[in-house]
Structure 1
Amino acid sequence: MMLTPPTPEEYASFYSDYIQRATERGDVIAALPIQINELNAALGDLSDEQARFRTGPAEWSIKEIVSHLIDVERVFSYRLLCISRNDQTSLPGFEQDDYVRESGADELPLVDLLIEFEFLRRGNILAVSHMSEEALNRIGTASGAAISAKALVYMLVGHVEHHMASMNEKYLPNLR
């Protein structure tokens, strides 16, 4: 299955960065499993102490970023499920800083966080592979805005791209 990028009418403008980053990957379906390997390659050799690194006192640690990736993978995949199943319920937003603060990520082993992300992503890969074109083109409402199931697949990829770029630019150079 090959998806074409969603149109601007299929997502809120604040998701444009994610959609653009995913579009730059080319085949988003192929990018879904590749990102598991990229995340493990970038972070898998870090010690738990290194993974607590943050670029400033108000910034998230690497472990908190991975926990955030997990949370967003869950939220976006739930939205994807609902919309692809033609559920017209308006889906709520969520406050990412509250989720990160409550995650306790810095006290969890980094390896466990990476495994959790992988399991969620692999489940999402299977779910997306079983969706029809009609299901992927359905539009629902999340965070008060229209969004297509297809846009959510792009957002899964683009969200990871966004945070990997940040970690590669701001975090990892300080640990190597």
Structure 2
Amino acid sequence: MKRSDIKELPDYFDNYINLNEDTELTEAFDKSLKQIDDVDLEQLKRIGFKVYAEGKWTINEIIQHLTDWERIWCYRTMLGARQEGSVPSGHDHIAMADNSNANDLTIEQLLAELRAVRVATKAMFDAFNHEVLSVNCRFKDTQMSVFAMGYNIIGHQLHHFNVIKERYVPLAD
């Protein structure tokens, strides 16, 4: 199945889902891993802790946010996929970033953790059959299929990597 096979796009998260190409989910996960592997470490090191505007996250905080966010979304996905029945609440990504120690870690550490989480996420989705992928996940005030959750997770990375490219890379000079 491809991204275009998603029957209902949830408000707000459709932005992340639609950032994906119209490819098979496993191919989208493979491309997301390649995107992590292809990061220019030297460029990110030149950027360091610079931000493009006051109050914005550092590159380290963005990478930590991606990892934290993905773990939360995998939990939500698993609850839905296994039809556990509870409806997880939202989370405060600002509080999580404020309380992370991302700026105490190296960019290599953060990217290695993100990659490890992404490999585990891909393995989870690879284990889901068509029936499981069709199950609706409910959380807070939203619902989407397990299948859409996969593209949502990948699209979130695409979004933040686009922000890094557009707003942070110019700071490397």
Q: How many angstroms does 1:114 deviate by?
A: 0.3
User: Does 2:157 align with 1:134?
Assistant: no
DSSP 3-state at the match of 1:152:
helix
Structure 2: give runs of 5+ residues left out of the alignment.
none
1:7-63: CA deviations, max 9, x gaps?
A: 22xx530111011112x3523321213222213323423465633221112101111
User: Does 2:13 align with 1:18?
Assistant: no
User: Does 2:109 align with 1:74?
Assistant: no
2:170 to 142, 154, 173: 173
RMSD: 1.8
Pick which of 65-74 and 26-35 moved more.
26-35
Q: Which amino acid aligns with 1:132?
A: N
Structure 1: give runs of 5+ residues left out of the alignment.
none
User: Does 2:37 align with 1:32?
Assistant: no
Structure (1/2) with the larger helix percentage:
1
Aligned 8 A contact 1:66 1:113 in 2:
yes
- Rounded to whole Å, the distance in 2 between the matches of 1:51 and 1:39 is 18
Aligned 8 A contact 2:87 2:138 in 1:
yes
Q: Provide TM-score, normalisation by structure 1.
A: 0.89
1:112 to 109, 113, 116: 109
Aligned-residue identity in percent: 22
- Rounded to whole Å, the distance in 1 between the matches of 2:64 and 2:30 is 18
